[in-house]
Amino acid sequence: MKLYHNPASPFVRKVRVVALECGVADQLQLEEIALTPVSTPDTLQADNPLGKIPSLVLDNGQCLYDSRVICEYLDTEFKGGLIPATGDARWQALRLQATADGFCDAAVLVRYEGFVRPEDKQWSGWIDGQLNKCRRALDVLESESSTFGDRCDIGTLSVAIALEYFDFRNADEQWRKKAPSLAAWYEAFSQRKSLQQTKPA
Ligand code: BEZ
């Protein structure tokens, strides 16, 4: 399977973490690409019309995207047990994943606003609006972190990845000061091998 990737992307990282947790990381052939929302290599566009990563080309030639679909594919096909099939556990895990993914969406938009958009067109109100989404999500994660325990599922993995991306691109936010319980959980959970092996460069 070929995975279009960039080591900085938290969504790619989620796929790589899930592949490690499922024991199939060695089946991923990583194809690193540079991209922005306004420039995507033709090779990627040929496989995914949206030109986004992660995109996973299966051995039968079909290309799967986005990260949620790819993670569900890996978990289902390789029996990772990271996405509970039914009941409260399922909805808790998927809701947590949605919170973490939305957090990453907002943080990535902040990154693009500063890195891709020409300086004279940048809008501080946009950046503040996106950062406020991250801050509100952090408040919710802090209040729910006592329920995480040692649960390892698509929700808790996604949260750990989102927090590390925030450290990577928005260290000045110092989120640990406002979320001490979440920070304590993260400190222990982030020692997992799959997370250690995929840290952003
Ligand atoms: C980043 O550099 O932060 C980044 C790169 C690719 C996708 C998302 C984020």
Nearest atom of ligand 1 to the alpha carbon of 108: 9
**Does residue 29 belong to any structural domain of this protein?**
yes
pLDDT in tens, 72-112: 999 999 999 999 999 999 999 999 999 999 999 999 999 99
SS3 assignment for 13-58: HHHHHHHHHCCCHHHCEEEECCCECCECCHHHHHHCCCCCCCEEEC
**Residue 108: what pLDDT?**
98
For tokens 């990271």, what's the residue?
A: 82
**Does residue 82 belong to any structural domain of this protein?**
no
Q: Round to whole Å and give the CA distance between 194 and 66.
A: 20
Distance 11 CA to ligand 1 centre (A): 9
**Does residue 201 belong to any structural domain of this protein?**
no
Distance 74 CA to ligand 1 centre (A): 22
Distance 8 CA to ligand 1 centre (A): 5
Same domain, 20 and 42: yes
CATH of the domain at 13: 3.40.30.10
Per the CB < 8 A criterion, the answer to whether 54 and 4 are in contact is: yes
Nearest atom of ligand 1 to the alpha carbon of 168: 3
pLDDT in tens, 52-69: 999 999 999 999 999 999
By residue range, what is the domain housing residue 125? 87-196
pLDDT in tens, 129-178: 999 999 999 999 999 999 999 899 999 999 999 999 999 999 999 999 99
Same domain, 64 and 112: no
Same domain, 36 and 127: no
